[in-house]
Amino acid sequence: MRKLKFIAMDVDGTLVDQDKRIRPFTKETLLKAQEAGYTLILASGRPENGLQSYRKELEMDRYGGLLVAYNGSKVIQVPGDKVLYNQALTHVETIKVLNHLKNFEVTVMIDNGSKMFTENLDGLNVVKEAKNNSLELIRVDDLQAILDGEPNKILTSGKPEYLRSVFDELYAPFRSELNCMFTAPFYVEFTAQNVDKGFALKHVFTDLGYDDHHLIAFGDAENDLSMIRYAGIGVAMGNAVEPLKAIADHVTLSNLEDGIAHALLKYLPELN
């Protein structure tokens, strides 16, 4: 096996705890890994803005790294913020999805990188989503009327049991056109066709001259499946959903037990 070079991590439920903080032991281990020559990748459903505080905390501009935002719709190289990959929804696709979503009991959110727009400020987790990603939350009467450019994703929130029951109907008209996935029990997101974390990493790695054998990846949710499959070593957190644990090469401790750090010490013994 080729020597590992990259460490990719989902953020919520993987890198951070329930308070959205990186635990001290995990942070210490990731800084040590960078000192040893490994490159960090933050791979999240979050927009780019929602990754900046962790980028800074982990000193990624000092060591170099990648931000995989919007579930793989956009990849940014740090330092320098060069966009290596960007696959947004088209305006026509966005309108079609927004029209379809009017038939369901979901709250719809679209961001432009700095602001998040919604028609329902009382929707499940709307305020929390904006706050976690440092986005200004703005209520509008009609999302279609304020569309500016092409969004990287359309986020919907709702009650978990309801979203499970209607997921097939949500996705049905777009199965051959777009990607749709759960990113949390209460979130379903639409992105462009073939967009996922694994596809984005494969695309960027090919351009940079690397492949899956250079990557160890960590995740906990269904939107991490493609990344865990792609990675040379795919690690599921102890709190991960069962489908992810089923395909992982290793199941580590939970995000509340420094699962990333313990797995890295197992696979990268020089960090001990």
* Mean pLDDT on 44-54: 96
- pLDDT band at 6, cuts 50/70/90? very high
What is the predicted pLDDT for the residue at 149? Answer: 81
- 126 by DSSP, 3-state: which? helix
Q: Over the stretch 194-236, which tens digit does the pLDDT of each residue have?
A: 899 999 999 999 999 999 999 999 999 999 999 999 999 999 9
Residue 72 CA to residue 32 CA, distance in Å, equals 26
CA dihedral 134, 59, 75, 50 (to 10 degrees): -10
Burial class (CB in 10 A: 0-12, 13-18, 19+), 250: middle
- For β-strands 187-192 and 154-157, DSSP reports them as antiparallel
Residue 67 CA to residue 50 CA, distance in Å, equals 10
Residue 77 CA to residue 60 CA, distance in Å, equals 10
Q: Over the stretch 117-156, which tens digit does the pLDDT of each residue have?
A: 999 999 889 999 999 999 999 999 999 998 888 999 999 9
Q: Which of 156, 214, 148, 160 is nearest to 180 (CA)?
A: 156
Burial class (CB in 10 A: 0-12, 13-18, 19+), 153: buried
Q: In whole angstroms, what separates CA 30 from the centre of its chain?
A: 18
- For the stretch 77-88, what's the b/e string if a residue is b when 16 or more beta carbons lie within 10 angstroms of its beta carbon? bbeeeeebbebb
The position carrying tokens 């073939």 is: 194
Task: Please provide the average confidence, as pLDDT, over all residues in the chain.
Answer: 96
Phi, psi values for residue 185, rounded to 5°: -55, -25
